[in-house]
Amino acid sequence: MVDNGSQDSVASALAQEAGAEVVRAPRNLGFAGGVNLGIRRAKGELVALLNDDAVAGPGWLTTAADVLADETVAAVTPKVVLDGLFAEIVLDDEPWSAPGDHRRLGRLLWSVTAGGDEVLEGVVGAGIHDTESAEIEGRRRRWRWTSGEAPFYVPLAGGRGDEAVCVNGESVPVRSRCTLLNHAGNYLEPHGIAGDYGFGAPDDGRFDAPAERFGFSGTAPVMRAETLARLGAMAAPFFAYNEDTDWCLRARLAGLRVLYDPRATVRHRLSATSGGTADPTVRFLAQRNALLALLRNAPAEVAARHLWRRVRQGPGGGVRRAVLVKTPWALATRRRAARWWVLDPHDVWERWAGADATWDTRPAAGSSSAGSSVADDPGDQVDEPGARAR
């Protein structure tokens, strides 16, 4: 257990109580540095990572060992589900689009409560857009738009499953209560950021087939120790965010594969440690590191185009300067890593950039409303763009 500079060594004390071997960092090294500290102490042929806000279910390591017996596989990720139950809501609003806005909009939500608790920020799914905010009559207001057609999912924070759900103060019917996917592996967007495949969709069997994915999230992957020794561990200068994407790009360039194996499940309390994308530091790190990952691994013209756009257009927040400061390091490490490349970056981008960015987002199988269950024939399934959140 890596104690990444916890105050008064609280994490170390808890881990020792539980019988774990403790590796303590004198200060917070970030996710990448903390993982590397643990990897250096790990022994054995396989190395597994588990976030401090995640709990692994039975068979996690056994099934991974099975898959990693194939030496062409660099890493395997289990099915990762969001912790807790969610209420499925579908509002019968006719979708529309505002002038100049490509989104399909339904209803504006000022408030969503479950059991009386405000949970607007925790609502997920293809049927809900990101939070917006503005100063209105001298007061900062926050809201979210629905899509007007796809389901969205309200966290039942009380955990009982029978909490009443209200939208803008009015009670709405709950179609089902279900567990949701956090991810079934990751996909790669053309600008270099990875997304969680399946995010916010019901875990009702539609993600139960093993598959090859572009990569993994750092929540609970298992890797071959030999691959880590050859390609290196996480990029410590990233500190946190997109170090997993960077590692998966290095593995892909080395001609290796990343697989998704749903036989094991891990529960994840999303962003319980970092605070998620609402935190300015998280946004800064994610944006900076996405560009650094491009500089280290992408086709040169792709990296140059996105770097130039950032330098010219922003947004700022210190990201431009931070990227430029680390550009010499990124280019130098790219040259060193290239000795392991089996594939050209163009080959990796052609195969994976933009692939697997949609999935079946229909209501949960067994929803109470007619016509809401997932089709038995996979050919009848409809893919919708997924939520871009981690």
How far, in Å, CA of 31 to CA of 37, rounded?
10
Contact 34, 238 (CB under 8 A): no
Report pLDDT for 377.
35
> Strand 165-167 vs strand 112-114: parallel, antiparallel, or unpaired?
antiparallel
What's the pLDDT score for residue 308?
A: 87
29 in helix, strand or coil?
coil
**In this predicted model, what pLDDT tens digit does every residue of 358-378 receive, in sequence order?**
999 999 987 654 333 333 333
Q: All domains of the chain, ordered by start, with CATH?
A: 1-43 (no CATH), 44-83+182-350 (3.90.550.10), 86-178+357-385 (no CATH)
pLDDT at res. 371: 33
The predicted pLDDT at position 167 comes to: 97
Q: What is the pLDDT of residue 277?
A: 63
Encoded tokens for 241:
């965010």
Q: What is the signed CA dihedral for 215, 218, 222, 223, rounded to 10 degrees?
A: 70
> What residue ranges of the chain have pLDDT lower than 70?
159, 272-278, 314-317, 367-390
* Residues 132, 88, 167, 183, Cα dihedral to 10°: -20
Residue 200 near residue 130 (C-beta atoms within 8 A): no
CA distance 184 to 217: 9
Segment 1-4 long-range contacts (CB within 8 Å, at least 24 positions apart): 2/34, 2/35, 2/37, 2/38, 4/28, 4/29, 4/30, 4/33, 4/34, 4/37
